[in-house]
Structure 1
């Protein structure tokens, strides 16, 4: 299999960075491939060599954003540490990601497209659903160790993170609310972890 040259990799990264900036600033419809190419310092033909269509470029840009945020949530499960301590670290990482204005801006565009053009967004959402992020992996490991109840780890992860997103994601996406103040992070994390463990933990941790 042909291995891309370093120059090719750099061009692809530059295109994705430029696309993210343009989609954040202008939305999908108004973002121009010409402007993306100019911002990336490449020709329009080079953009299409990497991404056959604007739609595919948008999909890959959104994938990169969510994968980068999920990649920050990589805390290996440790049986010698308390569940609450580990979950608190994971949720603190999650809150830092959700406070990133660039992440929120592109997430707002992606969610808007899911509402207005579901045929464009659905393939991306399906690809995102196939990726197992750090919280799911951590819960799966804790279940295998017998410290959390058995069941669908994705369901459990969504319940846990949903409590955080209620205060630090959806108000910012849907209503333009400011980021959750840092002084509110700790009590939110403590409440979310306590509620989660009260149901899912197999014994007092």
Structure 2
């Protein structure tokens, strides 16, 4: 609270006058972080296009989100909340999942179009996100590494697409 008041250039009492308590202030901080993180344009599945470039574009968009400092801050806050307040953490993680939901919607549409096989959409979505996050989220959160450079993002996206479509694709 002291750091927030100092950053705002007001007294701690003034901060409390605008928020009924730490919970409300924390919720507003999370909302602010959420709004300022990279949103990107939701890419929709295109039946008339090859799968690989579509999926690569989705993953590159995700990699940009994961490299956004505001998103990294939000993820760190969520991690701390998981430890201190599991019930509030579920809400945070749920909102992060909503932001990541475009990937599962794309997978669901590709399944409906018959272009992916043997796929549980939620499992496959989590699997694909794991391929990306192991390079572009966890090292940044846990070890303070810099976000991936453009060439690294390309490499991660291309590799994840090849692995995913190699397993689930129908020879697009």
TM bucket by the smaller chain?
Answer: 0.7 to 0.9
Alpha-carbon distance in 1 for matches of 2:94, 2:158: 32
Contact 1:91–1:189 (CA<8 Å) still a contact in 2? Answer: yes
1:57-136, aligned counterparts within 5 Å?
57-59=25-27, 61-62=29-30, 65-66=33-34, 71-72=39-40, 74-126=42-94, 128-129=96-97, 133-136=101-104
Could you say what secondary structure the match of 1:149 adopts? coil
Name the count of aligned residue pairs: 169
For structure 1, the residue ranges without an aligned partner over 5 or more in a row are 1-28
| Alpha-carbon distance in 2 for matches of 1:89, 1:182 | 13
Q: Give the corresponding residue for 2:112.
A: 144
TM-score, scaled to structure 2: 0.79
8 A Cα contact 2:59 2:157, kept in partner:
yes
Which structure ranks higher in relative contact order (CA pairs < 8 Å, sequence separation ≥ 6)? 2
Deviation at 1:140? 0.9
Match of 1:15 in 2: none
Kept after mapping to 1: 8 A contact 2:38/2:68: no
Q: TM-score, normalised by structure 1?
A: 0.68
User: Using the alignment, how far apart are the partners of 1:89 and 1:97 within structure 2?
Assistant: 13
Helix, strand or coil for the counterpart of 1:79? coil
Distance 2:126 2:41 in 1: 14
Q: Contact 2:47–2:113 at 8 Å: present in 1 too?
A: yes
CA RMSD of aligned residues (A): 3.0
Q: Retained in 2: the 8 A contact 1:172–1:178?
A: yes
Offset, 1:63: 5.4
* Cα distance change of structure 1 residues 124 and 160 upon mapping to structure 2, 3 Å threshold: same
